Structure 1
Amino acid sequence: MRLSPIAKRVPRVVAHRGASAVDPEHTLAAYRRAIEMGADGLECDVRLTADGHLVCVHDRRIERTSNGQGVVSKMSLEQLETYDWGSWKRPTADTDLDSRKVLTLDTLLSTVRDAGRPVELAIETKHPTRYAGLVERRLIEALDRYGWAHPKLGTESPARVMSFSWLSLRRMRTAAPGLRTVLLMDRVPLRFRDGTLPTGVSYAGPGLAIVTADPEYVDRVHKHGHQVHVWTVNAEEDIRRCRELGVDAVISDRPDVALRVLADGAEGVGRRT
């Protein structure tokens, strides 16, 4: 296996839906734990409620991660707040609201702001959705409240936007050109197998299977000046493989494990940047 020329860079660790191997995904408890573990960044999915709030929920429907039923986009935030979003993961009694309450994007943004150290936030817009471009508009409005949608020249927002939808990323580029964007891929389209990306997209976001089957893809992306953020990397051997390939970030349900494995192999290795 030929390694990337920058293979000695230690990848940044991004907590997938928070420290979701330990705490219920997308709960405030999961994100606070990831920050305590030392994760470099947090990843979340956002969906728009019927009354215009962005909430951190992966699935279109709420059955898997709550004790309710229904479609997120057809429900109000008040309705979603009546459900328990943690007992599916922790069936025993737990009165900690941080592990039980639906999480709004605004609460997560304030958590990142108040973390006490720089923390990145990778926000995935979920498509298709009945609200189409309204999702991106609401996301920009939310980021604007923190001064993160239109970073000043020479600065970077702690937030970046990810999507499998090129159209979603195009909307973000048009409305907030200073924001970094990530094209998520479960397969690499033929036109981008040379390492290029759509105009304005900053980073490649391949699934682990892509870089496992085609490790030189990382090199090709780097040669075009882009970063590679790989999801979802949980097994220790896969974390090591990503480091050897020189990926820029690993997105993991187990940020503590990823940090430990990367630290174990970091002697003589460049700092994460």
Structure 2
Amino acid sequence: MEKTKVIAHRGAAAYAPENTLPSFEKAVDMGVDGLELDVHLSKDREVVVIHDERIDQTSNGTGFVKDLTLAELKNFDFGSWFNMNFCQTKIPTLEEVIELLDRKKWTGLLNIEIKSGIVIYPGIEEKLIDIVRENNLGDRVIFSSFNHQCLKVIKEIEEKAEIGLLYVSNIIDPWLYAEYLGAAALHPEFHIVYNNPHLVEKCREKSIAINTYTVDKEKHLTGLFKYKIDGIITNKPDLALKVRRKYQ
């Protein structure tokens, strides 16, 4: 079996403002196997990378992403909230992240989380598939979401697309649910995996990957690396890589 992938959560989010180009670049430079990011649609239907539906938490602006054009979003500072070293960091589009990864010649896994729940973005699935196709990223992308209807639509548009089902509480026989939706992976909150090795065994039998989130403490990383799950999503990729070297 391959080593457990270290997947940087919103980039190296412990060390740079989450979901920004500096955060992704720092994670790539650390040597991660994968990057996780979140996407929304702006008022003019551009795919932008940010976690929340509103910009209040991670910028000096206010309002819903859906109510602001890309040009308006670019006027705000998405770095100073983290620290002043990142003053005037801009919100990136998904295309800008891909351009950065191309410049870095990085060819790892890209986990695109579709944030379509509190705000629903009709047609976001088609736009994402188009971007992935245009950039020839098909075999490097997994789409995840807590909105499993979104992931069902992704599979209807592109049968070969890989999807990962995000969830935060125990599901009865989740490996069967994953099979039903044609999911390549389950993306459970890490305590679900950490306390349930039976889940790992059952998923392995069904060839369903487990990529768990968000694991930042050494004791939890250690246990999960010992389980040899497929991927660990973390804000501290440097720590995860260090622990992996010790246990795998």
Deviates more, 1:35-44 or 1:112-121: 112-121
- Give yes or no for contact 1:50–1:75 (8 Å, CA) kept in 2: yes
Q: Which residue of 2 is the match for residue 25 of structure 1? A: 18
SS in 2 for 1:58: coil
* 1:113 is the counterpart of 2:102: yes
Q: Secondary structure at the match of 2:180?
A: coil
Shift in Å, 1:186: 0.4
The answer to whether the 8 Å contact 2:40/2:121 transfers is no
Q: How does 1:1-273 map onto structure 2 within 5 Å? A: 10-90=3-83, 92=84, 94=86, 100-128=89-117, 130-149=119-138, 157-192=139-174, 196-266=178-248
Deviations 1:217-268 (A, max 9, x none): 11111111111001001101111111111211000001111001111223xx
Task: Give, in angstroms, the shift of residue 198 of structure 1.
Answer: 3.2
Larger radius of gyration: 1
Structure 2 contact 178–184 (Cα < 8 Å) conserved: no
> TM-score, with normalisation over the residues of structure 1?
0.86
- Gap runs ≥5 in structure 2: none
Choose between structure 1 and 2: higher helix proportion. Answer: 2
Structure 1 portions without partners, runs of 5+: 1-5, 150-156, 267-273
For 1:178 and 1:242, the matched residues in 2 are separated by 29
Taking a change above 3 Å as real, the CA distance of residues 257 and 93 of structure 1, as seen in their structure-2 partners, is closer
Deviation (angstroms), 1:148: 2.6
Tell me if structure 2 keeps the 8 A contact 1:196–1:221: no
> TM-score w.r.t. structure 2 length?
0.94
RMSD, aligned CA: 1.8
Percent identical among aligned pairs is: 28
Aligned to 1:154: none
Amino acid at match of 1:102: I
Alignment size in residue pairs: 248
- Measure, in 1, the Cα distance between the counterparts of 2:85 and 2:176: 52
Asked if the contact 2:53–2:119 (Cα under 8 Å) also holds between the matched residues in 1, the reply is: no
Task: Provide the C-alpha distance between the structure 2 equivalents of 1:70 and 1:196, rounded to a whole number of angstroms.
Answer: 35
